[in-house]
Structure 1
């Protein structure tokens, strides 16, 4: 077994592709794309608010499955279809990262995501 460990999360995956939710080497976790998938149904909701809630819940589940917490996240990249999505994302962002002096870096990009996806993210975390 190599030093890289695949991180799998029940109910979250990349369909039939052989891609883990994230990978860990040592104290570093890097995720793949994290969409707003409802893990109970395996579907992406058509509503931006529901997708954002599910995306952040999936982010938390993935970093925790890798042995970390949201406190270990140092960078999040978010892709949105519409620049106006930031108004929906920001309240959830500040709930997940409430300390304004200890938030991860974030880059939000407008991108033509495939239907029905309205938002997607990935993250980088460094565990203590």
Structure 2
């Protein structure tokens, strides 16, 4: 019996502080570790809008760094510190995922690390040849 092969995805500037990759391909499915508002220099913006800008830019970097496109994203799980931040999240969501249908999404309120107002994880698939 053959198992599914995992292949780590690393994106310069987005290395995870824990001993895990930023993302991993398991066969044709991409799973990410938490993607957040940390800039390449390690800083985290104070304002929510800036955190969302950086987080969605990091999402794009991870997806593209894995050799995929935003069209490959099937599910995004968003962790917000405050539920009332959902309208701001929606603005960035629509700017990132312009075309319909957009990925499925789940938003959870979470106790996040100090200074972090948003984290997300996603699942994507490798494009199949037509």
**TM-score, structure 1 length as denominator?**
0.91
| Map 1:1-128 → 2, pairs under 5 A | 3-15=5-17, 17-39=18-40, 41-99=41-99, 101-128=100-127
**Which is higher, the Rg of structure 1 or of structure 2?**
2
| Rounded Cα–Cα distance in structure 2 between residues aligned with 1:120 and 1:98 | 20
Structure 2's unaligned 5+ residue stretches are none
* Equivalent residue pairs, number: 124
Give the structure with the higher percent strand.
Answer: 1
SS of the aligned residue for 1:103 comes to coil
Root mean square deviation, CA, Å: 1.2
- The answer for unaligned runs of 5 or more in structure 1 is none
TM-score, length of structure 2 as denominator length: 0.90
CA deviations over 1:29-70 (Å, ceiling 9, x no partner): 00000111112x212112111111111111111011111011
Q: Which runs of structure 1 show a deviation greater than 3 angstroms over 4 or more consecutive aligned residues? A: none
Equivalent position SS for 1:37: coil
SS of residue paired to 2:76: strand
